[in-house]
Amino acid sequence: MTLRYTKTALEAMNTLPAPIRRAFYKQAAFLVYNLQHPSLHAKKYDEGENKWQARVNRSWRFYFKIVGDAYIIEDIIPHPSELKNVFSCASRGNDRAWSLHGG
């Protein structure tokens, strides 16, 4: 299997904090080696779109499709529950939201 990236994924990678980017590269290597690697917690996210979700770390996820012999990485984002925390902290002016980027 090989990895390919959408424009959205490449843009996301360019804005990731360095520790998250390193964790993503490690997880992407696991993905190429074994979709069922335990640290990925990979699962089908959207059956209709053939979209999968896997773990970067506890707070971040990446989304991909399987097309032929390639994993197409579509996006890398904070876990949806973490996004909710970011927005609630930001709306209160709380700086704690930035600590989520460290993993």
Res 86 pLDDT > 90: no
Please give the model's pTM, rounded to 2 decimal places. Answer: 0.78
Residue 93 structure tokens: 């002016």
Q: Residue ranges per domain, the chain?
A: 2-102
- Looking at the chain, the whole-number percentage of residues with pLDDT higher than 70 is 79
Question: Rounded to 5 degrees, what are φ and ψ at 8?
Answer: -60, -45
Fold of the 2-102 domain? YaeB-like fold (3.30.2310)
Contacts of 76 (CB under 8 A, 6+ apart): 9, 12, 13, 16, 20, 24, 56, 60, 61, 62, 63
The model's pLDDT over 3-46, given as tens digits with 9 standing for 90+, comes to 999 999 999 999 999 999 999 999 999 999 999 999 999 999 99
